[in-house]
Structure formats: C-alpha cells, structure tokens
Chains A and B, each alone.
Chain A
Amino acid sequence: MSFITGRKFINQEALPHMWCQGCGNGTVLSALARTFEQLKYTNEDTVVVTGIGCWGKADDYLTTNALHVTHGRALPFATGIKAAKPELHVVALMGDGDGTTIGGNHFIHSARRNIDITAIIVNNLNYGMTGGQFSATTPHDAITATTAFGNPERPFDVCALAEAAGANYVARTTIYNGRLLRSSIKDALTKKGFSLVEVISPCPTQFGRRNKINPAVEMLRSLRDKAVTKDVFDKLSAEEKDNHILIGSLVNKDAADFNTRYEEIRSKALQK
C-alpha cells in the first residue's frame, strides 16, 4: 500500500526550510504537495506563483514551475499565466500582507474576474518577515511593531471579501484542522474559477510574542478552541463571533470563469 507523501513536489535539497518553529507554513506546504500528488498534477502542468513574505518563500521548496514576483503582485502575474495557458494549474501563494494588504486590489479584481486560479492565503495576522508590522488582517487592538499600544483599525474578513467580489470557491481553515486543510485545497484546485483557501496560521515569533500568546503550542490550542463550523458559528452571539473563527467551505458555485467568458466573446467577434 502506498501513501501520499507529496515528496516528489518538495525540493529535498532546499530543506530544512527557513520558517520559525511553530510557524504554520510547513503544514500548508505539506498539504499542498500531498494534494498535488493526489490530483496527479505534474511539474510540467503546474505553476506556483509567490510574492514577498515568509509564505512567499514557499516556491524555494517546491519542484513545480515557480514564479517568485514582487510584493503583492502574485495574482496579476498568475493572471497572465492563466490567460495565456489555460491548461496549466495556476496556484498563487500569498500571505495576508502580500495578498490582502499591499496586493489587496489585485485580490478583489482576480475574484471579480473569476479567473481559474487557486489562491492560498496563509493569514498569520501580521507582516512576519519584516518584523511583525500591522497588516490588513491584524485584529483590532492587537499589538504589532507598528501598533505598539494596539491596532486602531479593523481587519478584513478575507473570505467575505472574496465572496463579495465573486469568487467561485471560498473556504477558511486553520493549520490545526489538517483534514479540512487538505480537503479545502483539493476542492479549490479542482474548482474552475477563482478559488480561495484562507488558512489561519500562527506566527509565534512576531504576533504571538507581542500579544502574549505563547509558546507556539498555545497558539495552536487557541486555533483549536476558536475554530467552529457554520452550524455552531451561526448560533453564537455577535460578541462571541468576534472571538471565533468560522471554518469550512463558505462559497461553492459554478459561475463561468474568465477564460470561458473570454472565449465566448472571442468566438462572437470572429463570427461577425
């Protein structure tokens, strides 16, 4: 009996990876590699696009084709690839800083365009690599390097943003919920149209340390205790909802994707 290990998608020579102890990135990378294997993807038909940040380093450890681009711009690069070569599996790996803060504009437009890209946003609630500054998903009141006494702003609900903008598939999970992580990545990869998996992940080095949630295992316990599915979440009071994480598949529909609509217009134009 053989097991799915995802090993052939991991560049063994680049290991050990550079992520901190207790970081969730390795868990997500492992789930991604295993899902690639499960879906029988190959290095030749898969392109991973990353931006800048800790999770943006993921391409270093993958054997697929990879395009490592500028800060916040993974999605427009991925859009170029998918538009030119619709047969490729195009996966954009971004953090919350990369995907929803400096690159937030591209995020909503990729979802609006419903282009067949799988976006995996590992949300660790701050800019980890540059030293733990506030991002667009930093909770209100949280301490970061640039919000020394608490964040005055409100965070984005990344999944609601993708849903409102028109994504075909939206799911949220945490790195504690390993099975859901795998199944969400699989559903996102196989869905035609824009798919988002938001993975809530601990950053013990920057976020945990400043917000007194440590050691790293405490951050994992916190994810375990806070993560609830929709049936439970819906019964919570508004106040309780603020302190919980809604996980599971949140949007699953089949609106025509960008390439399909583009081909429709093209064939109409050619008939004239």
Chain B
Amino acid sequence: MSSRLSGNEAVAYAMKQINPDVMGAFPITPSTEIPEYFAQYAANGEVDTEFVTVESEHSSMSVCIAAQAAGARSVCATSSCGLALMYELLYVAASCRLPIALACVNRALSGPININNDHSDSMGARDSGWIQIYAENNQEAYDNFLMAMPIGEHLSVRLPVMTCMDGFITSHAVENIELLETEAVRRFIGEYNPENYLLKKENPLAVGPYDVSPYYMEHKVLEAEAMKAAKTRILEVAADFEKISGRRYGLFEEYRMEDAELALVLIGSSAGTAKAAVDKLREAGVKAGLVKIRVFRPFPGEELARALAGTRAVAVMDKSEGFSASGGPLFAETRSALYDLQERPYMINIVYGLGGRDVKTEDIEKVFARLAAIAATGEVGPLYTHMGQRSREEIA
C-alpha cells in the first residue's frame, strides 16, 4: 500500500506492524518522533507493547536488554549523545547475544553540540558487536527495520541490530513509501522463540555474569563468528523480503558500476545526491559509478573488493571524522578490503557533511573531476581531505 511518511514515522509504523513486546523510550532529537508515534499506538491499543518511559538512554537500553533476556522482543530508538550514553550497554546486549532492534537516527555526536546529521554517533559504536544497516531514504529505513528481527534473531546470528538513517534528511522529510500489509509483516518476522530465557522453568538462567579468563575469549570468538555468519543471513533475509515486497537488497548497492572507471563509496542519504551526479556524468561520457554501503557491520570487505576491482580511481566519502589522523572509518576499512587485489585502484578519502554541512551534486561532480585527474596522471595528491570548509581553499 502506498503512503507518504517521514523516515521517523515509517520506522514507528514498522514497529507498530511488528508489535514488539517492549519498547524502552527516551527522547532525543532527531529520533524523538519514533517513541512519540509509538506512544500513540500504545495508548490507542493498536499494539500490545509495554511502552516504558524511562529517565535516560542508559535506562532505555537496560529495559530492552532485560526484556529481551526474558524472551521478549524489544525495540528502541535514539540518536547521537543518546547512543553514546548507551555505550556500555551496547556491548552487553551484543555479548549476551540479545537480538534487540534499535533505530539509530544519525546525528553528530557532541561537541560542539549540534543536532544535525552525520555518522559520528553510530560509527563510534561500530565495534560494539551490533549489526549495522544504513538507509538511503525512508523506504529503506522502513524495510531495514522490518528485516532487523529475522536477521538478528536467527540461531546462527543472535546479535542486536542497529538500523540507521540520516537525521532530519531522512527522519523528517516526507517521501512516498510502499508499506507492506501488517499480516505480511507478521508472517515475515514470525514469532520470537529463543531457546533460553530468564524465568524459563525448565532451565534457570543467569544472564551477564562474570566471565573468567579461561572462558572469556571463547565467548568473544563465538560473538565474532556470529558476526561473520550474519553476512549470509542478511542476504537470505533480503531474498525473502524481495518475495513479499519486490524490493531487492544486498550488502551494498552498486549504481552504474558495470563498467565504471571512477567510483564513489559512501553511506546513507548522500547516495541520492551522488546518483544524480553519476547520471549527469554518464550523459557526458564519464564512466562514473557509485557503491552505497548498506551493511557496515558485518563489513562486506571481499564483496566490496570485487565490486571495485575494475575501477581506476575510488573516492571513499566518510560522513564522520574518526580522528585516526589517517582518514575516516569507511576509508580505513574499504582500503584494507582492497589490499588483496592484484591491481588496486587509486584511492582517496573525503570527509564531508559533518554536523549537517550540505553536500550538493556539484560537490560530488568535483570529487569525480579529481578522480578523473588522478586516473589520468597517476598523481593522487592529498590522500585525506575535508570537503566544503568555509575557511580553506577548496580541495574537493
């Protein structure tokens, strides 16, 4: 069924269709609307969810962890400092193998305080053991949230899932969207029936106790194996989802990459802008292409290397700084993924869009112009730059 929804409402609607057992709710811009919409559904009796209004994000994630450990499906939404306040609990959720679904509406992480979009919040949590799936638009935000539970709850995975969308750009803009029928959603996600849970009569369980050195590492390896297994599961779920929705998803989206010589790699809503720039350049005869990363955790390294193997120059665009002094996190991982290729493309890193700094099609065209020059001359120039600064001479 067709509708017009903001990204936040689309995710709240997905939650309503899922009808989770518990939601831990605490407001933070720009994700606030998600628990607000959901509060209405709960108050109207449209869902059976225990809607728990707590005093901080630390508590909202604690509520979800406890509920999930007791065998209840739990959901949550947050942004920026809220995600940061959950930090210790993100690791607890993942290591206890509790497949909570969290909608992260990406916003710059303080400081200075800023409420607008970049990816510094979720990128900060990239090593917490959560699966991370990013959306380009409202449709993907909705679809990704529906896929979160079948991915995370599967026996081979049992990890929490963070679905991310760009704050304001995606969360607040209203777009056309195709919604599934609630019955179809319920059939797709099925019931959550974990083998073990708190208060199970036959098998009393302790969740989260101290793990001694002779066993701790084995548990972390199991967690790491689960993250590896998640890649297969994500693709299985995507295939099942295509059957009911007609929409196809992979680990990333390749846009006009068939014969691309110059390529961008980026995450999120900027892909829409980049696609417009790619189309324009293609019309002018430039073999431009785009890889939009959808799944960042697990990182699709081998697949990405194959996708970029035929290119001559690649710009990885990071919407978070990372402060590694050698480029953003997406650059580090993409560059590492390409190391085993026999012939590697030239690669540069461009950090852009921090704290809501706009990126336009002309900006993307400048990046491609730089890539064209690099491919032609073999001169890479500065490896890692920041785009669109008001105070510096422009390097794309």
Contacts and interface: CB of A to CB of B under 8 A. Distances in A.
A23 to B, nearest CB: 18
Contacts of A104: 55
A141 to B, nearest CB: 13
A136 interface: yes
B62 interface: no
B385 interface: no
A153 B42 CA distance: 16
Contacts of B51: 146
A124 interface: no
Given A147-B39, A148-B43, A72 B28 contact: no
Q: How large is the interface on A (under 10, 10 to 19, 20 to 34, 35 or more residues)?
A: 20 to 34
B43 A145 contact: no
Given A71-B81, A72-B56, A102-B55, A127 B110 contact: no
Contacts of B35: 133, 146
Interface string B16-58: 0000000001111100110110011011100000010101100
A127 B35 CA distance: 14
A129 B51 CA distance: 21
Contacts of A133: 27, 32, 35-36, 53
A146 B40 CA distance: 8
Nearest to A56: B113
A109 interface: no
A68 B56 contact: no
Contact of B55 (A52, A136, A145): A136
B53 A70 contact: no
Interface string A29-53: 0000000000000000000000010
B39 A145 contact: yes
Contacts of B29: 129-130
A131 interface: yes
B39 A148 contact: yes
A149 interface: yes
A102 B56 contact: yes
Contacts of A146: 25, 27, 35-36, 39, 51, 53
Contacts of A114: none
Contacts of A127: 27
Nearest to B45: A149
A101 interface: yes
Interface residues of B, number: 22
A71 B56 CA distance: 9
Nearest to A101: B55
Interface string B54-98: 011000000000000000000000000100010000000000000
A145 B36 contact: yes
Nearest to A133: B27
Interface in A53-78: 68, 70-72
A134 interface: yes
Contacts of B27: 127, 130-131, 133, 145-146
Interface in A101-138: 101-102, 104, 127, 129-131, 133-134, 136
B40 A148 contact: yes
B131 to A, nearest CB: 27
Nearest to B41: A148
B47 to A, nearest CB: 13
A134 B53 CA distance: 8
Contacts of A71: 28, 56, 81, 85
B53 A147 contact: yes
B113 A68 contact: yes
Contacts of A148: 39-40, 42-44
B39 A70 contact: no
Interface string B115-146: 00000000000000000000000000000000
17 contacts: A71-B28, A71-B56, A71-B81, A102-B55, A102-B56, A131-B32, A131-B36, A133-B32, A133-B53, A134-B53, A145-B36, A146-B27, A146-B36, A146-B39, A146-B53, A147-B43, A148-B43
Name the 7 nearest CB pairs between A and B, nearest first.
Answer: A148-B43, A130-B27, A102-B56, A133-B27, A101-B55, A149-B43, A146-B39
Interface of B: 25-29, 32-33, 35-36, 39-40, 42-44, 51, 53, 55-56, 81, 85, 110, 113
Interface of A: 52, 68, 70-72, 101-102, 104, 127, 129-131, 133-134, 136, 145-149, 153
